[in-house]
Amino acid sequence: MDILKNRYIYFSFSAIFLIISLFLLIFWKLNLWIDMTWGIQMEYDYSNNINIEKITNELNTKKDLFLDNNQQVINNISVYSITWEKSLAVLVWFYNNPDEIKLEKLKNDFKNQVFEVIKSQDETLKETRYINVWKSFWDYIKNTAFITLGLAIIFITFYITFAFSWVSSWVSVVSFAIITIITLFHDVIISTWAYIFTSIFLPEFQIDTFFITALLTILGYSINDTIVIFDRIRSNLEKYAWKPWKNWKELYEIINLSIKETLTRSIYTSLTLIFVLITIFIFWPETISWFILAMVFGTFFWTYSSIFIASPILYEVNKNKKLAVYKKVVYNPDDKIVV
């Protein structure tokens, strides 16, 4: 098995998906849940047929009534039926309003109007869920997410630098850390793209705090998978990188051998996790389904990157350097130090 032979194909595949992913993140209107926009969510069960388009149009005409000193308060309204259920969800996003007390009154008034609009089509309508998010909650989540992500990347960099502080005098220690960060970026961005693409067809899958948690979890699993292969590369460098040694191998052979030795373990571990995640996605409550879906995408992409991206990049960075194993310097107390 020669993984490195087609490394440029793998690089091209990832580059295309990264470009698409970044384009979507920058220019596409993200399907944000209300905890990202201090909004409200209402869910209703109904028995008869309901015209969602008519409800949406009527609610959009009412949102202009909620003005405060000629300042529009309601940003957007989304109405959709929940997949495979006879249920309806209404989400309302609000503009930033300095008077949160007055905003809460507007939310309650609009909630009552939403109920009346939908009930006009079905008298059996029953409200099953109401979620109200304050702006202060989103500010806290946003700041915490950025701090957590930043600290995670910093500690990951230090850990990789320490763990691979000596492998070979010609393999850059820093390259292990930088490549790991690159694969983390690769996995998180493309997983986000896959999730956003899914939400285009299934609007109930939105970006929320569960999704942010899933991205942080993906960081942890991704680095674990990459380090397993890097650790085998380190072990094989110590074993085969001695020039006079009869079993001496080139870096190309060592990396291919390391991938081959860990390939079965990586694939089986990821498949096992995917099977568990899919089972949870199907049978567990809907409240965590968004988190599970993001994890499924992350599992696929971090398995791919650890095998087909991280190790080939390590080879590209170090392929033109001279092979030589690092030798630890042993301190001799009898040595005299001249100052």
- The percentage of the chain sitting over the pLDDT mark of 90, rounded to a whole number, equals 13
Q: How confident is the model at residue 327 (pLDDT cuts 50, 70, 90)?
A: very low
Q: How confident is the model at residue 329 (pLDDT cuts 50, 70, 90)?
A: very low
Q: What angle do CA 81, 293, 290 make, to 5 degrees?
A: 50
- pLDDT value at residue 256: 92
Average pLDDT, rounded, for the chain? 81
Q: What angle do CA 322, 320, 325 make, to 5 degrees?
A: 30
* Residues 6 or more apart in contact with residue 51 via CB below 8 angstroms: 121
pLDDT of 10 higher than 50:
yes
Q: Tokens at residue 247, please?
A: 């079993």
- pLDDT value at residue 337: 44
Helix (H, G, I), strand (E, B) or coil at 326: coil
Which residue has tokens 């700041």?
143
Q: How confident is the model at residue 339 (pLDDT cuts 50, 70, 90)?
A: very low
Judge contact between 39 and 103, C-beta under 8 A.
no
Distance CA 91, CA 80 (A): 9
| pTM, 2 dp | 0.74
β-strand partners of 250 = none
pLDDT of 148 higher than 90:
no
Distance CA 210, CA 6 (A): 37
Q: Which domains does the chain have, with CATH numbers?
A: 4-30+137-318 (1.20.1640.10), 39-132 (3.30.70)
Quick one: average pLDDT of 284-303? 84
